[in-house]
Amino acid sequence: MRPGPFALALALTCALSGCTGESADPGAGPTTFTAPTPSSSVPACPRRAVADQQWPKDVPSVVPKPPGLKIVMVNNTKGNVVQVRSEVPFSLRESVLFIVREFPKVGFTLGRGDAEQSEADAPFQRGEALRGLVRVFATDQPCTTVWLYAVVKNTNAPYDITYTPPPSSTPLPFG
């Protein structure tokens, strides 16, 4: 009778690790193995060089824009809303991480957003002067997402939107 593949793998593992089934220390317990975790500092998508584009004048420059953003369309709608549609060389995951990290750094509070398999969104606000929504859509290309900014400036706000308050902790906007 031939040993099965599991028995062979077990025997090989014991032989390579010096396992005899006996312990010199009666109090010795099993050792635990911790699998290495991938580093989140290494980007999953390569960064493409994109020439700087003119950010719409109606949208304050303080609104965070990921590197490589390529503006596709700008639309002014009723109610003082400016929509900016763009392509970004990020995966959906990288896009969400960018939003969670970068918006609070420049004084935005993130509201409760939504995340699904192919899209994520987060409302943002900076005092009474500036609010909006950023929605990110996955595409067929793994390293390209479509970002839609919808931004509203309140011109009657009590302070200048160029002021950057110190960062504060913000709860994660994706539930």
Instruction: Let me know if residue 44 belongs to a domain.
Output: no
Q: What is the pLDDT of residue 42?
A: 43
Q: What is the pLDDT of residue 49?
A: 63
Instruction: Let me know if residue 63 belongs to a domain.
Output: no
- Which of 9-13, 49-53, 90-94, 169-173 is modeled with the greatest confidence? 90-94
Cα 122 from Cα 135, distance rounded (Å): 7
Instruction: Let me know if residue 49 belongs to a domain.
Output: no
What does 28-52 look like in DSSP terms, one character per residue?
--PPP--PPPPPTTS-SSPPPP---
Instruction: Let me know if residue 78 belongs to a domain.
Output: yes
- In the predicted model, what is the mean pLDDT of residues 115-133? 93
Instruction: Let me know if residue 34 belongs to a domain.
Output: no
Q: Which domain holds residue 119?
A: 70-153
Q: What digits encode the pLDDT tens for the residues 64-92?
A: 999 999 999 999 987 789 999 999 999 99
CATH of the domain at 137: 3.40.1000.10
Instruction: Let me know if residue 60 belongs to a domain.
Output: no
Neighbours of 60 (CB within 10 A): 17
Tell me the pLDDT band of 46, cut-offs 50, 70 and 90: confident
Please give the residue that has the higher pLDDT: either 132 or 127: 132
Total number of domains constituting the chain: 1
Instruction: Let me know if residue 132 belongs to a domain.
Output: yes
User: What letter represents residue 174's amino acid?
Assistant: F
Report pTM: 0.65
- Average pLDDT of every residue of the chain: 75
Instruction: Let me know if residue 33 belongs to a domain.
Output: no
Please give the residue that has the higher pLDDT: either 119 or 42: 119
**H or E segment at 154?**
none
CA angle 56, 62, 66 (to 5 degrees): 80
